C-alpha cells in the first residue's frame, strides 16, 4: 500500500525542483550582460512511478506518479551556429588585418594631401622648365636644387615610414603568436578542470562557456575545427566534455593543437623567420606550414603585411612589394636624370672653363650600373654632393656643336638616345675628349638645351621592371593599385562583418539571456512553487484529520 506521507514527498520534490528552476532564472538574469554567457535551463524529469515493475510489486490499479526532479541544468546552445560564427570570424580576422595594413600604407603615402610624392615630382618638372627660361640665373638653379632635395626627402620619408611599419609588424606577429599560445594554454587548463569534475556527474556550464569564448577568439586568428571528448567515470548525460582543437590548413588537413583527453599533448605555435625578420614558416609542434598552407585569419593578414618567403625563395608581401616598387621608381628616375645631366655642361668655373655634368642624384652605396640591386634606393636617394657644393654644377647647357669634330656622329648618337630614352649614350660619347676641337668652348652659359631635356624627362617612357611607363605614370599605377586593394579589402571586410553580425545575431537569439523571457519563466516557476506549497498544506490537513480526528466515534 502507498505510504500515508507519500503526498508530502511528492509536493516536497515539486518545491525543491521549482526552487532550483528559480535559482537558475536568477543566475541567467544576473549574467544578462556577461560577455560569452549562455543562458541555462533546468531539465525537468518525472521521478520513477510507484510501484516499480517486479514479481513482488503491490497489486494496485495502475501506477502512481511520485513527482518531479531537476535532471540537469543545461546550456541553450546551437553548435551549428557556433561553427558558422567561427568560419566567418576567421574571414573577418583576415580582411580586418589586411585592410588595416593597407590603410596604414595609404596614410604614409599621403597622396590626398599637397605633400605627396606626386606633387613633389610635378614640382621638380616645373622647376626644370623654369630653368629653361633662365639657365644661368642662380635663383632658378637654387629652386631646382631645393625642389630636388624636397623630392628626395619625400622618397626617404615614405620608404623609412613603410619600413618602420613593416618592422612593427615583425613585433606584432610575435605578440599575436604569444597571445595565441596563451589562449591555447587557457583552453587546455579549462579542459583539465572539466575532466576533473565531469566524472562525478556535474555539468560545468560556466566552464563550457569559457571553452567557447576561447575557441571563438582563436578562430579570429586561424581556421579551427572542434570535436568533443567524453569524460570517463559517470558523467551526466548533459555533460559536453573537453574539446579537441585542430588547426585546419588551406588544404583542409587538420593539425592537432589541444588534446581533450591528454593535457600534455598541447602543441605550441612558433614562427620561423629569415635574418631580415620575414616570415618563413609557421610551426605547430613538429609540423611546418608555409604561407600557402595558411587559410584566412588574422595571422595570415599580419604575415602578408610583414612579408614572407614564397615557393621560389623570394620575399613578397604587401609592404615588401610597395617598398620594392618605390626602390624601382627611385632608381630608374635618378638614373635617367643622371644620364641626361651628364649629357650637358656646367656654368664656367673661375678659369672660365665648363665641365661635363656629373651625377645629379646619388643612392648611397648602390651602383647605377648594377640594375639588379635596387633595394633601399628610395631610402638612400639624395642630391649629390657635387650639386650641393655649387649651383654652377647644374648642367643646364647643351654641347656647343661648333666644338665637335664630327657633328653628324653626335646627332646620330643624340637621335638614338631620344628614340630609346637612353641618354647614357650621349654622356659616354661626350666623355671622350677626342670628339672635341681644341680651344673651342664646349658650351655656353646661356644655352638651356640640356635643361629642356631634363624637363622633357617627365614624358619619357622608361623601363620599370617588366613594364614601360613615364615616371609619373608608373607611380600613379602603383598608387592606383594600392587604392583598389584598399577598397577591395574594405568591401570584403564589410561583407564578412555583416555575415558575422548576422550569424552572431542568430546565435544570440538562441543563447543570449532575454530578461523578459526570464521574468515570464520566473512567474511560471513561482506559481508552480506556490501550488506545491498549497499541496503540502492540503496533505497536512488530510493527515491531521486521520491522526487527530479518526476513531473518536463510540468513545
Sequence ranges of the domains in the chain: 6-76+515-548, 83-107+164-314, 118-136+319-460
How much is the pLDDT for 312?
83
Per DSSP, helices labelled H in 36-115 are 79-109
pLDDT tens across 47-106, in order? 887 777 666 666 666 677 788 888 888 899 998 999 999 999 999 999 999 999 999 999
How much is the pLDDT for 54?
65
pLDDT tens across 217-236, in order? 999 999 999 999 888 888 88
Reported confidence tier of residue 108, pLDDT bands at 50, 70, 90: confident
Q: In whole angstroms, what is the distance from residue 154 CA to residue 109 CA?
A: 9
pLDDT tens across 256-273, in order? 999 998 988 999 999 999
How much is the pLDDT for 37?
92
Mean pLDDT (the chain) is: 90
- On the question of pLDDT at 352 being above 90, the answer is no
- On the question of pLDDT at 2 being above 80, the answer is no
pLDDT tens across 469-496, in order? 999 999 999 999 999 999 999 999 999 9
Task: Sort 59 into a burial class: Cβ within 10 Å, 0-12 / 13-18 / 19+.
Answer: exposed
pLDDT tens across 293-332, in order? 998 899 999 999 999 988 888 889 999 999 999 999 999 9
Helix then strand then coil, % of the chain, to nearest 5: 55, 15, 30
How much is the pLDDT for 235?
86
pLDDT tens across 504-527, in order? 999 999 999 999 999 999 999 999
How much is the pLDDT for 332?
95
**In the numeric block, which cell numbers belong to residue 260?**
581533450
Q: In whole angstroms, what is the distance from residue 549 CA to residue 386 CA?
A: 126
Q: In whole angstroms, what is the distance from residue 245 CA to residue 24 CA?
A: 30
- On the question of pLDDT at 1 being above 50, the answer is no
Q: Between the CA of residue 228 and those of 21, 240, 242, 243, 550, what are the distances in Å?
A: 28, 7, 6, 5, 61
Of 399, 405, 391, 403, residue with least CA distance to 423: 399
Site of grid cell 600534455: 264
Q: Between the CA of residue 346 and those of 129, 132, 339, 349, 445, what are the distances in Å?
A: 17, 14, 14, 8, 8
Beta carbons of 155 and 330 less than 8 angstroms apart: yes
pLDDT tens across 112-140, in order? 666 788 999 999 999 999 999 999 899 99
Q: Span 1-26, mean pLDDT? A: 85
Q: Span 14-18, mean pLDDT? A: 92
Q: Write the DSSP assignment of 306-366 as a string of letters.
A: H-EE-TTS-EESHHHHHHHHHHHHHHHHHHHHHHHHTTSB----TTS---B---SEEETT-
How much is the pLDDT for 424?
93
User: Global pTM?
Assistant: 0.86
Q: For the range 363-369, what are the long-range contacts, defined as Cβ-Cβ under 8 Å and sequence gap of 24 or more?
A: 363/330, 363/331, 363/334, 366/331, 368/331, 368/334, 368/335, 368/338
Of 138, 482, 120, residue with least CA distance to 333: 120
Q: Span 421-433, mean pLDDT? A: 92
Q: In whole angstroms, what is the distance from residue 74 CA to residue 42 CA?
A: 6
Q: In whole angstroms, what is the distance from residue 424 CA to residue 426 CA?
A: 5
How much is the pLDDT for 527?
94
**In the numeric block, which cell numbers belong to residue 107?**
596614410
3-state secondary structure 179-236: HHHHHHHHHHHHHHHHHHHHHHCCCCHHHHHHHHHHHHHHHCCCCEEEEEECCCCCCC
Report the greatest alpha carbon distance in the chain. 162
How much is the pLDDT for 57?
66
Amino acid at each position: 500500500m502507498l505510504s500515508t506521507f507519500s503526498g508530502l514527498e511528492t509536493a516536497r520534490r515539486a518545491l525543491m525542483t521549482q526552487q532550483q528552476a528559480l535559482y537558475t532564472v536568477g543566475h541567467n538574469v544576473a549574467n544578462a550582460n556577461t560577455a560569452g554567457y549562455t543562458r541555462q535551463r533546468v531539465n525537468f524529469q518525472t521521478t520513477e512511478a510507484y510501484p516499480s515493475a517486479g514479481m513482488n510489486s503491490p497489486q494496485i490499479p495502475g501506477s502512481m506518479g511520485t513527482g518531479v526532479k531537476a535532471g540537469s541544468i543545461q546550456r541553450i546552445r546551437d553548435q551549428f551556429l557556433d561553427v558558422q560564427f567561427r568560419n566567418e570570424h576567421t574571414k573577418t580576422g583576415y580582411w580586418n588585418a589586411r585592410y588595416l595594413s593597407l590603410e596604414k600604407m595609404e596614410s604614409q603615402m599621403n597622396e590626398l594631401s599637397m605633400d605627396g610624392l606626386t606633387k613633389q615630382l610635378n614640382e621638380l618638372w616645373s622647376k626644370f622648365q623654369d630653368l629653361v627660361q633662365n639657365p644661368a640665373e642662380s635663383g632658378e638653379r637654387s629652386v631646382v636644387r631645393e625642389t630636388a632635395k624636397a623630392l628626395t626627402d619625400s622618397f626617404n620619408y615614405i620608404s623609412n615610414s613603410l619600413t618602420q611599419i613593416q618592422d612593427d609588424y615583425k613585433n606584432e606577429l610575435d605578440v599575436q603568436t604569444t597571445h595565441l599560445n596563451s589562449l591555447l594554454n587557457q583552453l587546455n587548463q579549462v579542459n583539465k578542470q572539466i575532466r576533473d569534475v565531469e566524472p562525478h556527474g556535474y555539468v560545468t556550464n560556466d566552464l563550457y562557456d569559457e571553452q567557447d569564448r576561447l575557441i571563438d577568439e582563436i578562430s579570429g586568428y586561424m581556421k579551427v575545427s572542434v570535436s568533443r571528448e567524453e569524460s570517463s567515470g559517470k558523467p551526466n548525460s548533459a555533460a559536453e566534455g573537453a574539446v579537441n582543437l585542430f588547426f585546419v590548413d588551406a588544404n583542409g588537413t587538420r593539425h592537432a593543437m589541444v588534446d581533450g583527453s591528454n593535457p600534455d599533448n598541447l602543441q605550441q605555435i612558433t614562427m620561423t623567420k629569415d635574418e631580415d625578420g620575414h616570415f618563413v614558416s609557421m610551426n605547430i609542434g613538429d609540423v611546418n606550414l608555409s604561407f600557402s598552407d595558411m587559410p584566412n585569419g588574422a595571422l595570415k593578414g599580419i604575415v602578408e603585411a610583414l612579408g614572407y618567403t614564397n615557393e621560389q625563395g623570394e620575399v613578397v608581401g604587401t609592404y615588401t612589394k610597395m617598398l620594392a616598387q618605390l626602390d624601382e621608381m627611385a632608381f630608374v628616375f635618378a638614373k635617367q636624370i643622371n644620364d641626361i645631366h651628364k649629357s650637358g655642361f656646367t656654368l664656367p668655373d673661375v678659369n672660365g672653363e665648363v665641365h661635363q655634368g656629373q651625377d645629379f642624384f646619388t643612392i648611397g652605396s648602390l651602383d647605377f650600373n648594377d640594375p639588379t640591386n635596387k633595394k633601399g634606393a628610395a631610402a638612400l636617394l639624395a642630391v649629390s654632393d657635387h650639386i650641393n657644393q655649387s649651383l654652377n654644377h647644374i648642367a643646364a647647357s647643351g654641347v656647343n656643336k661648333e666644338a665637335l669634330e664630327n657633328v653628324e656622329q653626335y646627332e646620330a648618337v643624340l637621335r638614338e638616345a631620344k628614340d630609346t630614352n637612353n641618354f647614357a649614350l650621349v654622356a659616354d660619347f661626350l666623355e671622350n675628349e677626342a670628339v672635341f676641337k681644341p680651344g673651342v668652348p664646349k658650351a655656353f652659359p646661356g644655352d638651356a638645351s640640356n635643361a629642356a631635356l631634363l624637363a622633357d624627362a617627365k614624358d619619357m617612357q622608361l623601363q620599370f621592371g617588366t613594364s614601360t611607363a613615364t615616371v609619373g605614370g608608373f607611380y600613379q599605377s602603383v598608387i592606383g593599385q594600392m587604392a583598389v586593394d584598399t577598397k577591395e579589402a574594405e568591401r570584403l571586410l564589410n561583407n564578412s562583418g555583416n555575415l558575422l553580425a548576422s550569424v552572431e545575431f542568430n546565435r544570440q537569439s538562441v543563447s543570449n539571456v532575454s530578461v523578459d523571457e526570464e521574468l515570464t519563466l520566473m512567474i511560471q516557476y513561482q506559481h508552480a512553487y506556490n501550488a506545491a506549497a498549497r499541496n503540502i498544506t492540503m496533505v497536512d490537513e488530510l493527515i491531521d484529520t486521520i491522526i487527530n480526528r479518526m476513531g473518536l466515534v463510540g468513545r
